[in-house]
A and B are shown apart, each in its own frame.
Chain A
């Protein structure tokens, strides 16, 4: 942890424009009407639905200054939040990029958004949480990329205390935009029992290329919920995904909509649960136009009594002919006591589509271990190297050296900690 703090602490603003305040008020009433998840809820099958009940919780906003973690990406513009309050900015934004507190961005650059601001999320099991989030989130962060941006953007959320934190991230890539965004969730203290409910909207308009990686590194007592929507226009490519190595329990609902021709949404994930950790991921790949592509690859490496749940659906609309959509969830067992539940799914309503979905579960191959051992590598190290390679395969799909280096380091640290 470096001791560098921002020279000037930017103030929190909840000065949202009127149109957004109305959305928040509407969300408040939606929240009141909805119910918390129950055992009977299909979207919560195999999942710990009780963890998502946040009735009568305190919402945290801001906290005492905390030491900043070392930057993850060299040369990045960095925004650091503590309990959803911006506490530091580092680096300067290139021309054509707007980034800052949501309220500021909506006030100064949000005219076009007032009519088509992303609708409430939660279609994969958590509509009440989505409503709670919009109604109660006082902060939020927005990035508008209007051009190709070579400077990566790093967002760090430091979380402390025992309350609920509600970070929001809006990323908009305008026509011809390119960009790389890393978002990290980290605990400021090892003993806090925090709950983080994070919502993100990724909007890739026409001809954009966006990479967006979320790294969840919270302490082992935390809970983490993430609702992540993405929408793609024409001729765009997004590579979005997450690495989960922290928290006791994490739930991630990823909803990808490809509505523009010749666009591709790649959805990637690596999780490494061990005893006391459960990662529950629900995904939806929605194809709303012809000639659209999506490719989901999730890999879970399970140690000890670690648990994962994966439920995914590829949904091809009637008009979305010539769709190519793939969905793969692979589980690698490093222990006999781990538990992986996979529910891949497919619903095709169009013609001329190429779709596949599947899930596999396996132990580390004896043949691979033997091969490494035959080169002098001790068996425990061989297992670790193979398991790291299993995860690295996903990370390499981002095709971004800096993101790759960062993610592989985090993964390596997790492997070192569990074995």
Chain B
């Protein structure tokens, strides 16, 4: 049971960004992807979650055997994939609570109604873990939220939707150290043998709090090096230049 990506090629506006990327994230593991700007990290997450701007030209991605590219964006989510966005959209007028309710409702069989009491109870419980004020439920989705609030909100959604595989796209960007700890706490709460994580980040700092099982380095649309968490420390100390040399050699 895994999220399996094989020889993935993808274009944006006719330019190839992913150039034969392969990666397997088994359930129960946390994988981190690091890499310089423009290496295709965010593109990978968008391609997996599905977005019209990204065109898959070759390769495959399956989630527990199910072909992701055969599914629409909403279907991928309901099948168990979750992308925590680097820049979440603002949705004026739609309260967080109603938004989450609609997302949960979408997972129920037709005709079955969500249990509102249970839903709110669960939401408040998760919000407490993320140290979110109850007022957030009534506020419009991400509207006027600070960077940190938006990221907490992404993790809240992730916790409420109970996905099988979670993609975190630079969740640490724009977070101060306290917010980072809270967000990491939420992610760590969710770590289990039934769930896989792909954490995309620029900095090793996040991995101090969300400890990865594997670290991969991405460059020019491919995974160029993989290792354990010590690879992240190595990158932090030496930057990406030495990797380039290694790849060249």
Contact = CB atoms under 8 A, between A and B. Distances in A.
A379 B106 CA distance: 11
A389 B97 CA distance: 12
B89 A370 contact: yes
B104 to A, nearest CB: 8
Contact of A370 (B73, B92, B93, B107): B73
Contacts of B49: 374
A368 B103 contact: no
A388 B77 contact: no
B95 to A, nearest CB: 8
Interface string A142-171: 000000000000000000000000000000
A385 B102 contact: yes
Most chain A C-beta atoms within 10 Å of own C-beta, residue among B72, B74, B107? B74
B246 to A, nearest CB: 36
Given A389-B94, A392-B94, A371 B74 contact: no
Interface residues of A, number: 24
B92 A376 contact: no
Interface string B83-109: 101001111111000110011001100
A390 B73 CA distance: 23
A378 B94 contact: no
Given A373-B77, A375-B77, A390 B93 contact: yes
B106 A388 contact: no
Nearest to B103: A375
Interface string B41-55: 000000001111000
B23 interface: no
A365 B90 CA distance: 10
Given A368-B89, A390-B92, A393-B92, A385 B99 contact: yes
B74 A385 contact: no
Question: By DSSP majority rule, is chain A's interface helix, strand, loop, or mixed?
Answer: helix
A374 B94 contact: no
B136 to A, nearest CB: 16
A386 interface: yes
B51 A370 contact: yes
B91 A386 contact: yes
A208 interface: no
Most chain A C-beta atoms within 10 Å of own C-beta, residue among B72, B85, B92? B92
A388 B90 CA distance: 15
A376 B77 contact: yes
B78 interface: yes
A386 B94 contact: yes
Contacts of B161: 375-376
Interface string A270-305: 000000000000000000000000000000000000
Contacts of B52: 370
B163 to A, nearest CB: 9
A392 B93 contact: yes
B157 A375 contact: yes
Most chain B C-beta atoms within 10 Å of own C-beta, residue among A365, A367, A373, A391? A373
B140 interface: yes
B93 A371 contact: no
Given A370-B51, A371-B91, A392-B93, A378 B98 contact: no
B93 A388 contact: yes
Interface string A333-349: 00000000000000000
A376 B78 contact: yes
A372 B101 CA distance: 12
Contact of A393 (B77, B93, B98, B103): B93
Contacts of A390: 92-93
Interface of B: 49-52, 72-74, 77-78, 83, 85, 88-94, 98-99, 102-103, 106-107, 140-141, 157, 161
Q: Which 8 A-B pairs have the closest CB atoms?
A: A389-B93, A389-B94, A376-B77, A371-B89, A393-B93, A375-B103, A373-B73, A373-B74
28 contacts: A367-B89, A370-B52, A370-B73, A370-B89, A371-B91, A371-B141, A372-B91, A373-B72, A373-B74, A374-B74, A375-B74, A375-B99, A375-B161, A376-B78, A377-B103, A377-B106, A378-B106, A385-B99, A386-B91, A386-B94, A388-B93, A388-B94, A389-B91, A389-B92, A389-B94, A390-B92, A392-B93, A392-B94
